[in-house]
A and B are shown apart, each in its own frame.
Chain A
Amino acid sequence: MLKLENISKSFVQRGTVLDGLIFEINEGDSVSITGPSGSGKTTLLNIIGAMDLPDAGNIIFKGRSILKMTPDESALYRNKNIGFIFQEHLLLPHLTVKENILLPLYAHKISKEEFNSGGQHAKLLMERTGIASLDSKYPFQISGGEAQRVTLVRALVNKPDILLADEPTGSLDGKNADHLGTLLSEMNREFGITLIVATHSSDLAAKMNQHYRLENGKLKN
């Protein structure tokens, strides 16, 4: 489903972080990527999610190069095919939990039916992740673990093909981290979502099917 061919990326101050990286992932896979800080895990996820561009190489998603997309196509790709979870929850503080979750449905013009269907899916996910009762609360009224679960639901509301999680448990305590990790692997199993998780956490990594380590700009099994 997703194929990375000889991806390279370097920065003026950090030097080369990705060096001819090759990577392929199939639909429904769950992959953990570990590696030291600054090894390029976030850069790799940003490139996969079309939030950053590589210096060289190509990324093929379902047979199409995402590097040849226009900015609008790129935005649509992020909206429909990718779900993001970051270390910080990145919930909009002025919107309620429910409004935050429905945000992806507002990014592009969709029919009322599609919107309602998305809403139903959101409701299902909220119940599934145990945050249904938080729908009218604001982000500052919920805990960090709850916020990350809201982020997870928001990332899944558009039924993306790939869920990219960048240190999703980095700011959570052990219990919440474990809960989120479990939810992630369950989502992978139940909804068949392809999951790529960049993490330092061996516990979270252990919940994935495939394990990679990013070293010297390359992924190693």
Chain B
Amino acid sequence: MKNFFSKNIFRSLYYYRKDAVYQIIIVAILTAVITGSLLTGESVRSSLRRTANEKLGSVDIVISSGLRYFDPSLAGRFEERSGEKAVAILEMDGYCQDFSTGESALNTKILGVSEDFFLFNAGKRISIEPGTIAINKRLATFLNIKEGDEIIVHFRSIDPIPANAPFAAREAGQDTRVFKTGIILGPEQSGNFSLGVSQIVPMNIFMNIMDFSRNSDKKVGANRLLIANGSDHNMPFFSDVLSEILKFSDIGLSMRRSQRTGEPELISDRIFIDSTIVDAVLDRFQSALPVITYLANEIYFKGRSTPYSFISGITSQITMGLRDDQIIINKWVADDLGAKTGDSLAVSWFVQGFRGKLDEKRMNLIIAGIVDNESNYSDPSLMPDFPGISGKTTCSEWDAGIPVLLYRIREKDEEYWNIYKGTPKAFISYKSGRKLWANNFGTATAVRFPPSMSLSEIEKSFTGTLDPETSGFNINDIRNISGRAAEEGTDFGSLFLSLSFFILISCIVLLSMAVSIFFDSRKKQVKTFFALGFRDKDIRKMFFTEAAILSISGAIPGVIIGYLMNMLIISALNGVWSGAVQTDTLSPGFNILPFIYSFLITVIITSILIIFKTRSFLTSLYKIDTGELKVHSALLNNLLLLAASIAFSGVVISALFIDQFATVLYFIAGILLFITLVLLLRSYYVKNKKESGRGEIKNISAFSRRYYFFNPSQAITPVIIIAAGIYAVIITSKTGPFNS
């Protein structure tokens, strides 16, 4: 019997091969769409994973100092202490131009590296000679640059003082240099190195880190410490190691001794010392005293004014007990203004406002005392090292980051500068100074210690106790972050499946119709088997096997076509749709799982369809000879319509009140509305009982109604297909990847 079944099935398939081919084609399209979509999702994910790994190279952990710079020697100390490979680099944004064509590449990453970087990241020592740069292939292609061509590189000058900090020198903005292109680096040479989580392949310029400074004696700081986590340490380990090795100099702090008072003082190359550090120092040394010195635009008294004077907020004998509205001035100012103790003078100064805008503040203060010009408070080191001010021979050379009105600087002011340099001309309490001048960058310009303490003693006491986080360091598991970003990006598998919704629905409807046609052409065959006494289940088995063979025959080429479709989509995503993924480095991945999933999905869908069709077909066999046509129940249709309407209303109301699931609920509501409308349309065709009679057909409309009364599904199917098509068009135009 088994032999007969197989022979009958294969002979039958061959005999009805024309119908079989339709079914195979439809199943192949269905499988191809599912396979193509799933493979595209997998390809995009694996490409992004590959790109992320390619960009990171050997870097697992990155310690960033943000806008601060640290001594690159930190990498050596870190490596020694942790046992993990580490390298320091300088990373910043910039842009560049082809020297010969003037064509620009914006959003370029400028990376200051030593040859250790390439050894660390690509396992190969690549040396960038001073005066030359290496660029990655993407940038070379973008600007059409060859080795030996010259490039103008624009980058931010290395300045420990952030550009938006008070008194940041204006001249310390952009630096522009011309470099010769030494090497063009491929991805395998770390050319695409990036610490960003974006999938975009960056345009990179690698500079010898020494080239960032025009002064060859000045050491260039780094701002990223790259670490390979070979031993799979946890994050606290890196924080602990950094804390153990961190020194004052790593975070831009240094110690010096006041020549006037002999007091050791802690100062910052950023002018201001972070409040967390100030607080930590004051906690550790009860005898330490903070200082905040600021540049006043003017000290004004009764029509006379002294321009551009430093005022210090200090805690000392002379400021002890000073109220917030009191000030001590030195004799030079008192003479200049003709002011005496008890007089009220006005002080004005600039503060950084929104987006770097300078706002001038003014305050009236009562003179609480006058100190001698040569007193211990006449200490030029109270003025921090403002880069645009310190070391200038005249006031008119100042680049203080604020508008300096040169006409206001008198000869006597130049004389004061010559004799006393930045010695503050007035003093207020530190508490008051902190209130007026503390900012995001810090709450003190110095912390002073008793003269008896040694500089090394103070510095040593802090080694191993500085908290990296409060010192401005961020430690990130960059590999994990990048990997997650690659995984959590847009799921292109689901996206393309949604966009292919129309094709999928159409394929399923067409497959249903093809199976029906296939079975219809076999009605006589089924009737024969039935009449000859074949059992229902054997007949079903034969037909199911036939249809299943066709499904599998369609699914096999379908997955192959799906793979080709995936290649086509990936090629489009790298080309005309490149905006969707923001990268052009996608490659068609090969993973067996999408093949298996799509194959199984198709076989399951078609099997369910075939089982359903086979059963309904065999059941309907009883009706063949009688000429009876199925009369569809209008009551049942209306009950379903009512249920769908109620469900739709319920879901819409729920969506209005449950914000958390609103999107999903509206999606379900959309489906229910669609079902409701389809049932409403169906009710039009099945409602008229008279149509079941054999009355006279008066016109073509009545003829159609009569036909669709018995075959409502044939009226509904085109509506469903058109609706699915409109859905596909709308969703593609509104949310598709092509809408970029």
Contact = CB atoms under 8 A, between A and B. Distances in A.
Interface in B424-455: none
A88 B531 contact: no
B619 to A, nearest CB: 12
A91 B527 CA distance: 10
B533 A90 contact: no
Contacts of A88: 524
Contact of A72 (B535, B629, B692): B535
Interface stretch (B4-12, B160-168, B557-565): B4-12
A82 B538 CA distance: 19
Given A92-B525, A93-B15, A107-B538, A49 B531 contact: yes
Nearest to A79: B533
Given A88-B524, A94-B12, A94-B14, A107 B626 contact: no
Contacts of B538: 107
Contact of B534 (A42, A75, A91): A75
Interface in A36-63: 42-43, 46, 49, 51-53
Contact of A14 (B5, B15, B530, B628): B628
With most chain A CB atoms within 10 A of its CB, the pick from B4, B5, B626, B692 is B626
Contacts of B530: 51, 78
Contacts of B16: 94
Interface residues of A, number: 37
Interface in A1-60: 11-14, 42-43, 46, 49, 51-53
A98 interface: no
Interface in B1-40: 1, 4-5, 8, 11-12, 14-16
Contacts of A71: 535-536
A104 B628 contact: no
B631 interface: yes
B532 A104 contact: yes
A77 interface: yes
B694 A107 contact: no
Interface string B150-180: 0000000000000000000000000000000
Contact of A52 (B11, B12, B15, B622): B622
Interface in A90-149: 90-95, 103-104, 106-109
Contacts of A206: none
A80 B628 CA distance: 29
Interface residues of B, number: 31
Nearest to A160: B533
Interface in B88-112: none
A154 interface: yes
A170 to B, nearest CB: 14
B335 interface: no
Given A13-B694, A90-B524, A108 B533 contact: yes
Contact of A95 (B8, B524, B531): B8
B463 interface: no
A109 to B, nearest CB: 6
Nearest to B9: A94
A42 B533 CA distance: 18
B663 interface: no
With most chain A CB atoms within 10 A of its CB, the pick from B14, B533, B628 is B533
B321 interface: no
B627 interface: yes
Contact of B532 (A11, A46, A78, A109): A78
Interface of B, secondary structure class, is helix
With most chain A CB atoms within 10 A of its CB, the pick from B14, B625, B627 is B625
Given A94-B11, A95-B8, A13 B692 contact: yes
Contacts of B11: 94-95
Contact of B533 (A13, A53, A93, A104): A104
B452 to A, nearest CB: 109
A199 to B, nearest CB: 16
Interface string B678-700: 00000000000000101000000
Contacts of B627: 13-14
A79 B12 contact: no
B582 interface: no
Contacts of A108: 533, 535
Nearest to A109: B1
B534 A92 contact: no
Contacts of B528: 90-92, 103
B631 A12 contact: yes
A78 B11 CA distance: 25
A11 B534 CA distance: 26
A193 B485 CA distance: 81
Contacts of B525: 92
Contact of B628 (A11, A76, A82): A11
Nearest to B538: A107
A108 B532 CA distance: 10
Contacts of A49: 531
Interface in B577-612: none
B8 A154 contact: no
B219 to A, nearest CB: 90
A75 B535 contact: yes
Contacts of A13: 627-629, 692, 694
A112 to B, nearest CB: 12
B626 A11 contact: yes
A61 to B, nearest CB: 14
Contacts of B531: 49, 51, 78, 84, 86, 90
A94 B15 contact: yes
A13 B534 CA distance: 30
Nearest to A76: B533
Contact of A78 (B8, B533, B628): B533
A20 to B, nearest CB: 19
7 contacts: A13-B694, A75-B533, A79-B532, A106-B5, A106-B534, A107-B532, A158-B533
Interface of A: 11-14, 42-43, 46, 49, 51-53, 71-72, 75-80, 82, 84, 86, 88, 90-95, 103-104, 106-109, 154, 158
Given A78-B531, A94-B8, A108-B535, 11 more contacts: A12-B692, A13-B628, A49-B531, A72-B535, A77-B533, A86-B531, A91-B528, A92-B8, A104-B532, A106-B5, A107-B529
